Amino acid sequence: MLKTGVFDILVIGGGITGAGIALDAAARGLKVALVEKQDFASGTSSKSTKLIHGGLRYLKNLEWKLVRETGHERRIACANAPHLVYPEHMLLPVVKGGSLSYWAASLGIYIYDRLAGVPSGQRRKMLSAEKTAALEPAFRRDHLLGGALYHEYRTDDARLTVEIMKTAATRGALCLNYCKAVEPLTEGGKLRGFRVHDEINDARFDIQARVVINAAGPWVDDIRKMDGSLSGKRLVLSKGVHLVVPYEKLPVKQSCYLDVFSQKGRMIFVIPRDGCTYIGTTDTFYEDPEHPDITLKDVEYLLNAVNAHFPAYPLKREDITGAWSGVRPLIYEEGKPSTELSRKDELMLSPSGLITIAGGKLTGYRKMAERAVDMAVQKGGLKAGPCITADLRLTGAEIPLPLDKYAYARAEECAQIPHTPQQVKDLVYRYGSETERIIADAYELYNADRQHPDPLAEAELRFCMAEEWVCKPADFYIRRTGMLYFRRHTIPAHRERFGKVYEQVSGFDASQNALFMKEFVSDYDTALIFA
């Protein structure tokens, strides 16, 4: 089919933007293929702060439309994937020497709530210094003037990307990871597809398409170079680093948005999750999207920034148990630092017909996809229905709320097999209603071997390999489960059984399996080495 069929749209890039485009186009009845040179969400889309922002920081740049759109989009994301996107409190302390006064914070978040369409029950509450300290006892008190409590939306960025991709596949999209676009196919000066290299099997094939959409994130300019259309606007990359520490090392009661005293106007997040607390992010120009390293300077910046607010819990480098670093693709503007560059997306059309979408934020993926597909339909003369993704639930989302009640019921179902309630709850917050399939498979494993120590963990791995395109151990440990970031200490005990199951299920020969496992062991060993 790939060598002879012609697709309506070929999408290059398997991050959240590409996944959103594939879903939008497939849901409109178009024939879609998507290729990603690594694993899905392996770039920026697994290395964000893992928040569906409402856009509070965009008010500083007077980007009213962007605030309104992102606020609208996060409600849609929550409705369409309630197991992956959910509102929670964010506490902004107002402090001496901070970037906002009490009344500036109050007015700013008031405007933010209205522009973003925040429901009345979730709108900001201004707090006295005493009430702020009561909410967050770990705060340094001598510089505390008050606080603002408002709502942001939490997510798992990589899992959200994968669920969008899975939903696109159920609509007929062909989604291929580890397939790199290497050469444009042209006819009469017009782009007609791409030659693709299968990185796993070391093979090449052609994908023909009426329209090609370049959604390669930090690599969009590489695709534009291949197309011969890299001119005018271009990307600049900004590096974002996040650090993870055990929760007891920084036991915050809720997520916090904090001033960085050493750099006027900069803010960082401190967010509790999965028995940990993570801290981020940096925002510095960077050139290499393939290997965004974490430097000692990055670590020092974040630790100093957070220690200034929590003197009773001073963090040291040896407290770090996980970390990640990624790059944000931003549209370059002469003379502006990375912190002031707009997060708006841009659509570009080349003479060959290549459509490029660049910039943007995780929160805006659906509208970015809609605009890109609208242009593809128009420029390619494609017959397509309207965009329906605003009301299209993702796989796993058909789940009764509240989630904790659903998770409790699923834990009750696991009474006959080894499990912990937290393990089942984690599955629900990763897979939603598809947790029921994992539990059913776990019972089959347990019934076949009553000595099985962890049938749920093996069933989860088998599910991800069968349903979520897991090719390499890193796909599972990093992007499907987040274990390398948040539960790195559990991996050694898990890895031996994983290796045996992986060899049984993967379909790769022994040398490939060994190579892929060696690659992941390197990721594991170097995860906490800072340059």
Residue 69 inside a domain? The answer is no
Task: Looking at the structure, tell me whether residues 263 and 311 fall in a common domain.
Answer: yes
Task: Looking at the structure, tell me whether residues 304 and 380 fall in a common domain.
Answer: no
Residue 63 inside a domain? The answer is no
pLDDT band at 153 (very low <50, low <70, confident <90, very high): very high
Position 291 scores a pLDDT of: 86
Buried b / exposed e along 122-148 (16+ C-beta atoms within 10 A): bbbebbebeebbebbebbeeebbbbbb
Residue 97 contacts residue 45 (beta carbons within 8 Å): no
Residue 492 inside a domain? The answer is yes
449-478 per-position pLDDT tens digit: 999 999 999 999 999 999 999 999 999 999
Task: Looking at the structure, tell me whether residues 104 and 162 fall in a common domain.
Answer: no
Residue 154 contacts residue 48 (beta carbons within 8 Å): no
Domain of residue 214, residue span: 6-45+158-234+341-391
Task: Looking at the structure, tell me whether residues 408 and 487 fall in a common domain.
Answer: yes
Q: How many Å apart are CA 9 and CA 259, to the nearest integer?
A: 44
Q: Return the CATH number at 309.
A: 3.30.9.10
Q: How many Å apart are CA 129 and CA 261, to the nearest integer?
A: 19
pLDDT band at 2 (very low <50, low <70, confident <90, very high): low
Residue 350 contacts residue 229 (beta carbons within 8 Å): yes
Asked whether residue 334 carries a pLDDT value surpassing 80, the answer given is no
Task: Looking at the structure, tell me whether residues 126 and 246 fall in a common domain.
Answer: yes
Residue 114 inside a domain? The answer is yes
Position 1 scores a pLDDT of: 43
How many separate domains does the chain show?
A: 3
Considering only 52-66, 107-121, 408-422, which range has the smallest mean pLDDT? 52-66
Q: How many Å apart are CA 419 and CA 359, to the nearest integer?
A: 43
Task: Looking at the structure, tell me whether residues 438 and 372 fall in a common domain.
Answer: no
Paired strand residues for 125: 149
Residue 447 inside a domain? The answer is yes
Determine the straight-line distance between the first and last CA of the chain, rounded to whole angstroms: 46
Position 118 scores a pLDDT of: 82
- Mean residue pLDDT of the chain comes to 93
196-212 per-position pLDDT tens digit: 999 999 999 999 999 99
CA atoms within 13 A on the CB side of 384: 25
Residue, of 23 and 63, whose pLDDT is higher: 23
Task: Looking at the structure, tell me whether residues 37 and 92 fall in a common domain.
Answer: no
Q: Return the CATH number at 512.
A: 1.10.8.870
Look up tokens 């293929």; give the residue: 33
Residue, of 328 and 65, whose pLDDT is higher: 328
347-361 per-position pLDDT tens digit: 999 999 999 999 888
